[in-house]
Amino acid sequence: MLKVKNLKASIDNKEILKGVDLMVKPGEVHVLMGPNGSGKSTLAQVIAGHPAYKVVSGKCSVDSREITKLTPDKRAKLGIFLGFQHPVEVPGVSVFSFMRKANKNPQSKIQNSKSINIFRDELKKYMSELKLPEDFLRRALNEGFSGGEKKRNEILQMMTLKPKLVILDEIDSGLDVDGLQLVATAIKTFKKNNPRSSFVLITHYARILKYLKADHVHVMVEGRIVESGTGRLATKVEEKGYQVWQTV
Amino acid sequence: MANGLVVADYRYGFSKPENYVFKSRRGLNEDVVKQISGFKSEPQWMLDYRLRAHEIFWKKKMPSWGADLSKINFDNIFYYIRPTDKQMTKWSDLPKDIKDTYDAIGIPEAEKKFLAGVTAQYESESVYHSFQKKWEDMGVIFTDMDTALKKYPELVKQYFGRSIPAADNKFAALNSAVWSGGSFIYVPPGVSVDIPLQAYFRINAANMGQFERTLIIVDEGAYVHYLEGCTAPTYTTDSLHAAVVEIFVKKGARCRYTTIQNWSSNVYNLVTKRAFVEEEGIMEWVDGNLGSQVTMKYPSCYLVGRKARGEVLSLAFAGAGQHQDAGGKLMFLAPETSGEIISKSVSAFGGRTSYRGLVKVIKNAKGVKCNVRCDALILDELSRSDTYPTMQVDEDEVMIGHEASVSRINAEQLFYLMSRGLSELEATSLIVNGFIEPIVKELPLEYAVELNRLIQLNMEGSVG
């Protein structure tokens, strides 16, 4: 599914990713942990195609297709989805009109031929799973949303777009215990319905692993993945922090 | 983004073969004015009015404080064209090529949906007019100006030129001299016209000016919403649109006037719009300007009665070679009057938008409340936006706020939307539509949809 090989990327001539290797197979759940500034979010943004980052060398492919030269929309159409750590506010654009536009892409299971009402009903079903209020669709995208609403809105987009590769950047931050549980349940349901979709969860904490089982855990420090393992690695991080891997 | 500078063809940029019964010759002199008036069999007072205005027109200087008007050649313009001999009352009676033109902009559908009455102006004169009997029975008059002058001469004479005299500015003088067509509306006291009255305007002859004249009188406690939408075919030579719109809002009455204009990119759109608002009356201008080469338009409210309120919502989109000089004027001439100007402008592909506004409060107009907000969105390095706000406040007991912002498309917004599969064009259009939403939401749904579509059309071929 996702293959990252010796990926180096920089922003403003500053190298952030210093040779990342990562392999994610269909249906797998990967957890990426690491201290602030280790390059986790950068990796996510580089995979999604943020134009501010420059890929210096290395490879990144989805289903054997090299993606580093593709614009973000082309990557989305290949089935890549990034749940943002800080979802961006777009004033004046309602959640619904945005969702309609986003779901016109052929990757989505929801096709144009489906009537607007069927689409709305589907959205409403997902919204009730996420306990989002009725008027949510009419509100401006992310504008004035609480931290929790923003994160649940990211999950709502994931549910409608049904991507093949889901990267969630700190989906657990800004969520209270109930919110986290809702999101984790939604992810589990999504996984059940889309068993070949893969996940990369970026997080500081192991707490989301109480609800979701990870196949692989990776620790990222100073722009490299320094150790990979199972759930036990996350426990180790929780107990001891990142000092053991840090050089300075 | 915006590395290509191709401006998309106007979707509505087609023209129909010219098939006119009468066409005045190019250029303007006293004889042309007499000919126009004579052709319409107008009363003497109107001919006198036209001739006086004609004199004023040649004496007045071109306005030099705003957009560049130096390329207008008054000698190369047709001042009057009459497409057919008589008024049509039924859609089926319209000539085929005129119907084809309207079909292309979707008027029949629009009418089916919610129109109460239509005065569709083709060229200089209205040829199609229908009006629901219901309103006629309530005493509402909705007709074209030429008919109004014949059928309601006293009413027209009483108000014509009273809010915008010929001497107001050069283009008001020009309109007063050669006006033709436009709408006339009278709403009797206490009558609320609950469905918008609608008219479509269209220029369809090379080098012809369109000088429609609209007069709306909303009597005490009455309400009306008037809508005009304009799309125009593209021509290679300059075309002039100099309209005058006069509105009288009586005590406790309310009037909303909505315009969406999409003139082809060679048109000079120089329109004078003014409303006199009496005690506790409300005037709302919703003014959207897309297209044209140069637009200069500042709908104004003269708040002459206590507690009168005036609102101007202005929207402008300037693409390549276009200058939208738009805004609004609020004149606070009585105590406790209030008003608001909200302006949103978008410039792209080298286009230029200017916000020009005037807020004037006279001495002793105590308790005035006024809010002005103008936001500009600039889509690329080639484009430009300026703000020219003027405040003349001669009273201390007032509350006046002014906010202005200039912004560019935010790269993070673009990335966020594109990461959901939207192309750069779709994402940019969505952001632009979001930016103008505070004004678009004031439009009837059908207009809002059309406007969003026009914005997207205006941006196609120029992004990424």
CATH at residue A33: 3.40.50.300
Answer whether residue A103 is part of any domain. no
Q: How many domains does chain A have?
A: 1
Pick the closest to residue B265 from B237, B298, B227 (CA basis). B237
Percentage, residues of chain A above pLDDT 70: 96
**Beta strands B117-122 and B125-131: pairing type?**
antiparallel
Q: What is the mean pLDDT of chain B?
A: 82
User: What's the pLDDT at B127?
Assistant: 39
Q: Which residues of B touch A51 (CB under 8 A)?
A: 411, 415
When mean pLDDT is compared across A84-88, A104-108, B200-204, the lowest value belongs to B200-204
Q: Would you call A51 and B424 a contact, using CB atoms and an 8 Å cutoff?
A: no
β partners of residue B260: B229, B288
Range of weakest confidence among A216-225, B79-88, B147-156, B324-333: B79-88
Q: What residues form DSSP beta bridges with A61?
A: A3, A66
**pLDDT over 60 at A161, yes or no:** yes
Q: What is the pLDDT of residues B376-429, one digit of tens each?
A: 999 999 999 999 999 999 999 999 999 999 999 999 999 999 999 999 999 999
A139 or B7, greater pLDDT: A139
Question: With an 8 Å Cβ cutoff, are A73 and B427 in contact?
Answer: yes
Residues of chain B contacting A71 with CB distance shorter than 8 Å: 418, 424, 464
Name the nearest CA neighbour of A96 among A74, A117, A75, A72. A117
User: If contacts are CB pairs under 8 Å, which of residues 205-244 in chain A contact chain B?
Assistant: none
Nearest CB to B413 within list A49, A76, A88: A88
Does residue B6 fall inside a structural domain?
Answer: no
pLDDT value for A210:
85
Q: What is the mean pLDDT of chain A?
A: 92
**CA–CA distance, A42 with A19 (Å, rounded to integer):** 12
Which of B421, B424, B433 is facing A93, going by the closest CB pair? B433
Among positive and negative, which fits the CA dihedral A223, A227, A229, A232? negative
pLDDT at B203 over 50: no
Mutation to test the B interface, candidates A73, A75, A77, A99, most B Cβ within 10 Å:
A73
Which residues of chain A are within 8 Å of residue B423 when distances are taken between CB atoms? 73
Percent of chain B exceeding pLDDT 70 equals 77
Backbone dihedral region for residue B221 (phi beyond 0: left; psi -120 to 50: alpha; all else: beta): left
Q: Do B430 and A101 touch (CB under 8 A)?
A: yes
ipTM score of complex: 0.95
Average pLDDT over every residue of A73-87: 96
pLDDT at A83: 97
Per-residue pLDDT, B109: 44
pLDDT score, position A14: 95
Selecting from B410, B421, B438 the residue whose C-beta is nearest the C-beta of A105 gives B421
Taking 70 as the threshold, does the pLDDT of residue A194 lie above it?
A: yes
Considering only CB atoms, which chain B residues are within 8 Å of A84?
A: 416
pLDDT for the residue numbered B77: 85
Q: Is residue B5 part of a domain?
A: no
Mutation target for A interface from B415, B426, B429: give the one with most A CBs within 10 A. Answer: B415
Within a domain: A233: yes
Residue numbers in B near A52 (CB within 8 A)? 411
Helix and strand counts by DSSP (H, E) for chain A: 7, 12
B346 part of a folded domain: yes
| Amino acid letter for position B170 | K
- What's the pLDDT score for residue B266? 79
Verify whether the Cβ–Cβ distance A102 to B421 is below 8 Å. yes
Q: One-letter amino acid identity for B214?
A: T
Q: State the pLDDT at residue B128.
A: 39
Report yes or no on A97 lying in a domain: no
State how many domains chain B has: 1
Residues in chain A closer than 8 A to B434 (CB atoms): 90-93, 140-141
Model confidence at B7, pLDDT cuts 50, 70, 90, reads very low
- Residue A107, domain member (yes or no): no
Residue A140 lies in a domain: no
What band does B25 get if pLDDT is binned at 50, 70 and 90? confident
Q: Does residue B256 fall inside a structural domain?
A: yes
The values of phi and psi at residue A29, to 5°, are -115, 120
Which of the residues B414, B420, B445, B453 would you substitute to probe the A interface, choosing the one with the greatest number of A C-beta atoms within 10 Å? B420
The span from the CA of B331 to the CA of B302, in Å, is: 5
Q: What is the mean pLDDT of residues A120-141?
A: 93
Residue of A71, A62, A42 lying closest to A197 (CA atoms): A62
Q: What is the pLDDT of residue B93?
A: 57
Predicted pLDDT of residue B89: 47
Say if B10 falls within a structural domain: no
Report whether B453 contacts B429 (CB < 8 A): no
Report residue B444's pLDDT band, with 50, 70 and 90 as the boundaries. Answer: confident
Strand ranges inside A103-185, DSSP E: 140-141, 165-169
Query: Confidence class of residue B124 from pLDDT cuts 50, 70 and 90?
Result: very low
Q: Is A201 helix (H, G, I), strand (E, B) or coil?
A: strand
In a domain? residue A144? no
Assigned domain for B142 exists: yes
Supply the pLDDT for residue B11: 40
Question: What separation in angstroms does the CA of B389 have from each of B358, B359, B361, B374?
Answer: 6, 8, 14, 9
Element containing residue A175 per DSSP (H, E): none
8 A C-beta contact, residue B155 and residue B191: no
User: B192 lies in which domain range?
Assistant: 22-459
Specify if A132 maps to a domain.
Answer: no
Return the residue in A81, A89, A93, A161 with the most chain B beta carbons within 10 A, the one to mutate for interface testing. A93
CA-nearest of A152, A159, A20 to A81 is A159
From A225's Cα to the closest Cα of chain B, the distance in A is 25
What confidence tens digit (pLDDT) does each residue in B308-358 have? 999 999 999 999 899 999 999 999 999 999 999 999 999 999 999 999 999
| Minimal Cβ distance to B422: which of A73, A82, A89 | A73
Q: Read off the pLDDT band of B20 (50, 70, 90).
A: low
**Can you give the pLDDT at residue B369?**
98
Looking at residue B16, its pLDDT comes to: 53
- Assigned domain for B163 exists: yes
**pLDDT over 90 (residue A77):** yes
Number of C-alpha atoms within 13 angstroms, CB side, residue B208?
27
Residue B381, domain member (yes or no) = yes
A144 touches chain B (CB under 8 A): no
Give which of B261, B198, B190 is closest to B225, Cα–Cα. Answer: B198
- For residue range B142-191, list pLDDT tens digits in order: 888 888 999 999 999 999 999 999 999 999 999 999 998 888 999 999 99
Contact across the interface for A51 and B415, Cβ inside 8 Å: yes
- Report which of residues A104 and B184 the model is more confident about: B184
Confidence of residue B100 (pLDDT cuts 50, 70, 90): low
Quick one: pLDDT band at residue B230, thresholds 50, 70, 90?
low
Give A20-85 as a DSSP string: EEEEE-TT-EEEEE--TTSSHHHHHHHHHT-TT-EEEEEEEEETTEE-TTS-HHHHHHTTEEEE-S
Mean pLDDT of B349-374: 96
Q: Is the confidence at residue A129, as pLDDT, over 50?
A: yes
Query: Given CB atoms, is B422 within the 8 Å cutoff of chain A?
Result: yes
B423 touching chain A per CB within 8 A: yes
- pTM greater than the 0.95 cutoff: no
Show residues of chain B in contact with A105, CB under 8 Å: 420-422
Q: Is residue A209 part of a domain?
A: yes
